[in-house]
Amino acid sequence: MAFDRVLAQSTTKDRLMRALVDGRLAHAYLLHGPSGVGAEALAIELAKAVNCVNGPGEPCQVCIPCRKIGTLQHPDVRLYLPLPSPSAKSAKAGERTDGESDDETDERASRGEDREARRQELLAILAESPYVPLPFNKRDHHGIDDIRELRREASVKPYEGRRKVVILVAADRMTADASNALLKTLEEPPGDLLLVLTTDRPHRLLPTILSRCQPVRLSRLADDVLAEALTRWFHVDPGRVPFAVRQADGSLSRALASASERGETLRTTAVAFLDTIHTGTMVDVFDRIDQFLTAHKETPLIEEILDILIGYYRDLFILLETRDDEAVQNLDRRDWLMTLAGQTSAGQVETAIDAIHTIKQALARNAHPPLALTVLALRLRACRKPAA
């Protein structure tokens, strides 16, 4: 199979491989699809395929170019990653920087170092596995200077490879200036450059950029593909696999995030929350909400916990109605779920799930988190059988 280090996506991979072998590769590709389905993995494998000494064709993975590209150390394969602004003071493109004091120069230099350190950190994550989620911050972007550097880089002949490859990760994070600069490169592609853009938000790219790239669409990964990858590639504890797959929505990156220590911490937090609701006093419940909000300020994290709670209630429903262990996602917590099942009816489980959905919608409309969680706790407390 073509590109065997890229999960599934077989039609897409075959199409690219045929183009490569027939010498019909385009100058620029846009690999797009939901995040975490393999755009970066495919970009890296494509870079290997054009530079493999046993190719062009399926990368052999053992020659020097394949190995250097795999560790992202090949001089002719350059990855650009969205990064924070080089300096808070020069964040505005084209701002004059002369006349600054030595202190400011030092600060700019240290910010440049921070940026390079950040770049190396992200590259190390990608080299480890192109499917591991990259921790981009909201404001990380490709600036005009990055694209100017890309243009310089692209115009230089390959040092040791057959073909220069530039991969622009999360291309939708280009500033307007950067997009215009990239457009020039796309209009007059230097000789042998292969430019690969990846994005999960193609609609945020300029139409003029979209029209100059060959689009390659990657699709969501099937549950069995995710489960197999988690177990065989990432050695995830089998007890965590069904839960991670269910949270993933077809994205291996999301599955890995759910299966991570952080994901496990969130699951444990959700257990403590439910336990307090079921067995604590109202004062305990308020304390729990306080602790929870101090530890998890951002709304997205609260939403993740609410999704986990829905998963627990869903499992409760299965245990109450069918006793079909196969269908239980949080099988590693079966004993705990059975205790809750003794305290809840199937009808109450349905009411509880509805209540959580309602609170999720309220949070999406910017409801005040402490109030939303208090209302949720009260509603969930009503969803249990009276103590015997």
- Give 60 or 225: the residue with its C-beta nearer to Zn ion: 60
Least CB distance from residue 351 to Zn ion, whole Å? 59
CA distances from 20 to 184, 194, 275, 326 (A): 25, 12, 57, 44
The alpha carbon of residue 214 and the mean position of all alpha carbons in its chain are separated, in whole angstroms, by 23
Least CB distance from residue 68 to Zn ion, whole Å? 10
CB 156 within 8 A of CB 78: no
CB 240 within 8 A of CB 211: no
Asked whether position 60 contacts Zn ion by CB under 5 A, the answer is yes
Least CB distance from residue 248 to Zn ion, whole Å? 31
Q: How many helices (H) and strands (E) does the chain have?
A: 16, 5
Is 252 in a helix, a strand, or coil? helix
> Residue 27 and residue 287: Cα distance in Å, rounded?
59
- Give 43 or 230: the residue with its C-beta nearer to Zn ion: 43
Least CB distance from residue 50 to Zn ion, whole Å? 11
Asked whether position 163 contacts Zn ion by CB under 5 A, the answer is no
- Give 52 or 271: the residue with its C-beta nearer to Zn ion: 52
Least CB distance from residue 165 to Zn ion, whole Å? 14
Is 77 in a helix, a strand, or coil? strand
Q: 56 preceded by cis ω (within 30°)?
A: yes
Least CB distance from residue 13 to Zn ion, whole Å? 17
> Residue 275 and residue 70: Cα distance in Å, rounded?
46
Asked whether position 49 contacts Zn ion by CB under 5 A, the answer is no
- Give 41 or 52: the residue with its C-beta nearer to Zn ion: 52
Residues 63 to 102 in contact with Zn ion, rule: CB under 5 A: 63, 66
Asked whether position 52 contacts Zn ion by CB under 5 A, the answer is yes
* 28: enclosing H helix or E strand: strand 28-32
Show Cβ contacts of residue 23 under 8 Å, excluding neighbours closer than 6 positions.
none
- Give 52 or 285: the residue with its C-beta nearer to Zn ion: 52
CB 73 within 8 A of CB 27: no
> Residue 69 and residue 60: Cα distance in Å, rounded?
12
Judged by CB under 5 A, the stretch of 45-53, 86-94, 190-198, 326-334 that binds Zn ion is 45-53
Q: Write out the two tokens for 152.
A: 């310089």
Least CB distance from residue 58 to Zn ion, whole Å? 9
- Give 52 or 169: the residue with its C-beta nearer to Zn ion: 52
Least CB distance from residue 166 to Zn ion, whole Å? 20
- Give 52 or 359: the residue with its C-beta nearer to Zn ion: 52
If we measure between CA atoms, which residue out of 114, 179, 111 comes closest to residue 142? 179
The alpha carbon of residue 334 and the mean position of all alpha carbons in its chain are separated, in whole angstroms, by 29
Judged by CB under 5 A, the stretch of 53-61, 98-106, 275-283, 315-323 that binds Zn ion is 53-61
Least CB distance from residue 229 to Zn ion, whole Å? 23
Asked whether position 301 contacts Zn ion by CB under 5 A, the answer is no
Judged by CB under 5 A, the stretch of 23-31, 57-65, 293-301, 345-353 that binds Zn ion is 57-65
Asked whether position 186 contacts Zn ion by CB under 5 A, the answer is no
Lay out the site mask for Zn ion across 193-222 (x = CB under 5 A, - = otherwise).
------------------------------
Q: Assign residue 72 a region: left if phi > 0, alpha if psi is -120 to 50, beta otherwise?
A: left
- Judged by the rule CB under 5 A, the positions of this chain that interact with Zn ion are 52, 60, 63, 66
